[in-house]
Structure 1
Amino acid sequence: MTTFFTSDQHFGHANIIKYCDRPFADVPEMDEGIIARWNETVGPDDEVWVLGDYAMGDRARGLSYLSRMNGTKYLVSGNHDLCSPVERNGHLHVQQYADAGFAAVVSQAEVKLPEVVPGEGGLRVLLNHFPYEGDSHTEEDRHAQFRLRDLRQTLVCGHVHDDWRVRRSPEGTLQVNVGVDVWDFRPVSAEDLHRFILEQGDATPSRR
């Protein structure tokens, strides 16, 4: 079994194609293209953490795609997910997302990335839709109350689309965006994510 991370599919969202200059002609081509790349990457026995903003527009249609997509899927809700705590009645929609195929729906999580350098161990990272600092195509950091406190632990996030793949917070903490716009519209494996973090010179040894 391999664990993967991804974010910000925005299934059903026409404006995102122009907003992020996605290489798709329309919503059906985008949706089917993302599903195809997901299934090329993820196997039936794998697991995938989706870090928010899974679908917009016709969310019921977007949620129906889950049954076509490989792996056990977990959602860390984002500001455009109806089940998000950003939404006043978000808690009322959690079961809808679970019934559609998410094995768990949470607002944040912590996982351990597997060892990729012999003897150096795994790496604990936080998962949240929002980065510690930074937003999508704006200088204002929205939804501040739903962002995690920066205690110098590497954060894996989404939300910022194609603005950046990696960026340090004002505290110097590494933030890695796993959004589809900067990862070829497919999930990234835990091993590849750990290697990418090591390439940035931030292994956060105190959190191994």
Structure 2
Amino acid sequence: MIFFTADTHFFHEQLLGISEFAPRPFLTVEDMNEEIIRNWNNRVKPTDTVYHLGDIALYFTHPAKLSNEAVLAVLRRLNGHIVFIKGNHDSRDLFKYLDKHNEMIEGKPKFSFHDVGVIVKFNHRQYYLTHYPMMLGIVKQIINLHGHIHHYAVPVRENINVGVDSPETDYLSEKVPFGTPLSTADIELMVERKFDDYNKRH
């Protein structure tokens, strides 16, 4: 199976607490990290693929090797093959470090990397996976899955925020535990209900 997520911001202490931008009611980054890891692994199997649409972590040390080691240690605990699309907080140095310490899982690399975006297709639609929201204009059967804007949503029906802070998970029938990657079924339901919501408003 394939899943989607964004904006995990592991180790990002400044995001802790309740805010309109990124509500994260944790006392420590360790608590936040562990919650994401637990909820991720409750859904994702080792053979699944997760598209992570940017902003993996925000943790800087001198030397940078220490923070890179810490981020790698967290990512190795996450189930699945992870396809990273570079976010504005993801450094080239981190990507190089992860690639250098990559490992094979079931004959496939644990990590793979893209600078800008990826297109995937399922159930008669194309999905453009990017970190930043894209304004696609009037399109048919093309949806932009993105992160970056945390607890905000683009008021356009063709854009779906898949980040861990996304308010658009409210379109789902059941609350998704914090940090849980979204399945293709989740995405389809979010698209369908956002379309319905958009049509009612216009």
- Please give the alpha-carbon distance, in whole angstroms, between the structure 2 residues aligned to 1:21 and 1:194: 25
Aligned equivalent of 1:103: 111
Match of 1:157 among 122, 146, 162: 146
Match of 1:180 among 164, 171, 186: 164
Residue 179 of structure 1 aligns to a residue whose secondary structure is coil
Instruction: Show structure 2 runs of 5+ residues with no match.
Output: 61-66, 103-109, 170-177, 197-202
Give me the TM-score of the superposition, normalised by structure 1: 0.72
Per-residue CA deviation, residues 26-69 of structure 1 (Å, 9 max, x unaligned), is: 11100111111100111111100000000111442122211111
CA drift at 1:187: 0.4
Q: Identity rate of aligned residues, in percent?
A: 31
Task: Give the residue type in structure 2 aligned to 1:158.
Answer: G
Alignment of 1:182-197 (within 5 A): 182=166, 183=169, 184-197=178-191
Per-residue CA deviation, residues 74-96 of structure 1 (Å, 9 max, x unaligned), is: 0011000002xxxxxxxx55322
Aligned residues: 166
* RMSD, aligned α-carbons: 2.1
Aligned equivalent of 1:87: none
Residue 167 of structure 1 aligns to a residue whose secondary structure is coil
- Please give the alpha-carbon distance, in whole angstroms, between the structure 2 residues aligned to 1:151 and 1:130: 18
- Decide whether the 8 Å contact of 1:5 with 1:189 is kept in 2: yes
- Decide whether the 8 Å contact of 1:167 with 1:176 is kept in 2: no
- Decide whether the 8 Å contact of 1:53 with 1:77 is kept in 2: yes
Give me the TM-score of the superposition, normalised by structure 2: 0.74
- Please give the alpha-carbon distance, in whole angstroms, between the structure 1 residues aligned to 2:130 and 2:12: 22
- Please give the alpha-carbon distance, in whole angstroms, between the structure 2 residues aligned to 1:8 and 1:28: 16
CA drift at 1:105: 0.8
| 1:72 matches 2:81 | yes
Aligned equivalent of 1:136: none
- Please give the alpha-carbon distance, in whole angstroms, between the structure 2 residues aligned to 1:93 and 1:11: 13
Aligned equivalent of 2:2: 3
- Please give the alpha-carbon distance, in whole angstroms, between the structure 2 residues aligned to 1:195 and 1:163: 18
